[in-house]
Amino acid sequence: MQTVLEDKIDEFQDRKIADRNRDKRTKDIPGWGMDADPENDPTYPMKHWNGADHERLNYEKAPQQRIDIEVLHSVERPGVTRVFGNSSPPSGLSGAIRRYAYQYSEATATHWMTLILADRINAIEGKITDLAHGILPNPWIERGWRAEWKYNRPAFIQKAATTALLITAGFMVMKRKNKHKSV
């Protein structure tokens, strides 16, 4: 594969210019800082500007939380944050898809759409695990049908009836088609 600029960021061609400008030359650039205006800051008062941004990554950090589970991290940061959540590490097929997604930056549709796909597969995995543990689907409670029945009965019945009707109609159409085939 062709190496791209982001793979060799530490020695990129104009680093020298960047470093020289930062270290000593800015003040020689005509007009440098002349129109800087601390009031020109639409982030006020939400951001209490103190220049900390210019410290970049050299700030006081907490100790690193022990990475004792698999933690995927954005390629847009150098590593795992000092603290992270330990809920539901990636697993199964959805986990493999998530790992793939995390190879792409947050600027890409690949990253996010692949994660959405993984979420849908994960939900199916959840149902399979449930069945394996003898847990049957319980939409009455888990999908909140009980709440709809209690507070929104007419609309709920109508929706259920429409769905049932559509399913029955679908079955009948399929049956017909099959009949035609067998003749």
Partner 1 sequence: MLAMNFRGARQIRLDRHKPEPEIKHPYDAIVRVTRSLICGSDLHLYHGRVPDTRVGMTFGHEFTGVVEAVGSGVQKLKVGDHVLVPFNVACGTCPHCKQELYGNCNESNPQATAVGGFFGYAHTGGGYDGGQAEYVRVPYADVSPTVIPKGMDLENAVLLTDVVPTGYQAAEQGGIQKGDTVVVFGAGPVGLMAARFAWFFGATRVIVIDHVDYRLEFARKFAFAEAYNFREMRDPVLFLKKATDYFGADVCIDAVGCDGTGSALQTITGKGLLLQAGDATALHWAINSVKKGGIVSIIGVYGPPWNLAPIGSLMNKGITLRANQASVKRLLPKLIDHIMSGRINPKEMITHRLPLEEVPDAYRMFSSKLDHIIKPLLIPPRANAA
Secondary structure element (H or E) that encloses residue 173, with its range: helix 153-182
Candidate residues 17, 93, 113, 166; the one interacting with partner 1 per rule CB under 8 A: 113
Q: Which is nearer to partner 1, 110 or 168 (CB)?
A: 110
Q: Which stretch binds partner 1 (CB under 8 A): 3-11, 12-20, 149-157, 162-170?
A: 149-157
DSSP tag of 55: G
Q: Does 83 bind partner 1 (CB under 8 A)?
A: yes
Which tokens go with 6? Answer: 């982001």
Asked if residue 119 binds partner 1 (CB under 8 A), the reply is yes
Kindly provide the b/e burial profile for residues 66-83, where b requires at least 16 CB atoms within 10 angstroms of the residue's own CB.
eeeeeebeeeeeeeeeee
Tokens of 141: 């409670």
Q: To the nearest whole angstrom, how small is the minimum distance from the Cβ of residue 169 to partner 1?
A: 22
Q: Is 96 in the site for partner 1 (CB under 8 A)?
A: no
- Stretch 1-40 residues interacting with partner 1 (CB under 8 A): none
Of 29 and 109, CB closest to partner 1? 109
CB count within 10 Å of CB 156 equals 15
| Amino acid found at 11 | E
Cα–Cα dist 161/146, whole Å: 16
* CA atoms of 102 and 75, how far apart (whole Å): 7
Among 20, 32, 41, 74, binds partner 1 (CB under 8 A): 74
User: Does residue 168 interact with partner 1 by CB under 8 A?
Assistant: no
Place of tokens 């079955």: 171
Q: In sequence order, which ranges of 8-138 are alpha helices (DSSP H)? A: 15-20, 92-101, 109-132
Among 31, 38, 139, 154, binds partner 1 (CB under 8 A): 139
CB of 2 to partner 1, least distance (A): 25
Chain residues in the site for partner 1 (CB under 8 A): 42, 45-50, 52-53, 55-56, 59-63, 65-66, 71-74, 76-77, 79-88, 90, 94, 98, 101-102, 106-109, 111-113, 115-116, 118-120, 122-127, 130, 139, 141-148, 150-152
